[in-house]
Amino acid sequence: MDPYLKPVEHLAGDAKAYVDLKTDELKLTTTKGLSVALNHLLSMILILFTLSIVLLALAFGCILLLGQWLDSYAAGAFIVSGVFLLVTLVLFLLRKKLFVNGFVKMFTGLFFEKDAKDE
């Protein structure tokens, strides 16, 4: 074999090894980002589930309390439902500021965050 072709063969082998390493790095970064995102998602679901149970109990208590005060449980239920409707309307109007931008920033930070050792 020609001695001048050996560096070219080494270059091709090194390029293949570099591409393989970059592929592995991409897989690891994606796996890390997905695991952190899934962790955040599952913890949010757990918190929201617990909060909804507490909110349901609080609403039921308010319905009973207002029903005793007004001598009509139906009126208490309508008042509590109106409060929930008002809160839902406010959350709907502020959805981009509260939810969308926050989630976009969180996921962007998870997947495109530079490690301190890379800088």
The answer to whether 98 touches 91, Cβ cutoff 8 Å, is yes
Instruction: Give the helix/strand (H/E) hosting 5.
Output: none
pLDDT tens, per residue, the chain with 119 residues: 566 666 767 777 888 889 999 999 999 988 888 888 888 889 989 999 999 999 999 999 999 999 999 999 999 999 999 999 999 999 888 887 777 666 667 666 666 665 544 44
The number of residues making up the chain comes to 119
The answer to whether 80 touches 59, Cβ cutoff 8 Å, is yes
Q: What whole-number distance in Å separates Cα of residue 2 and Cα of residue 9? A: 11
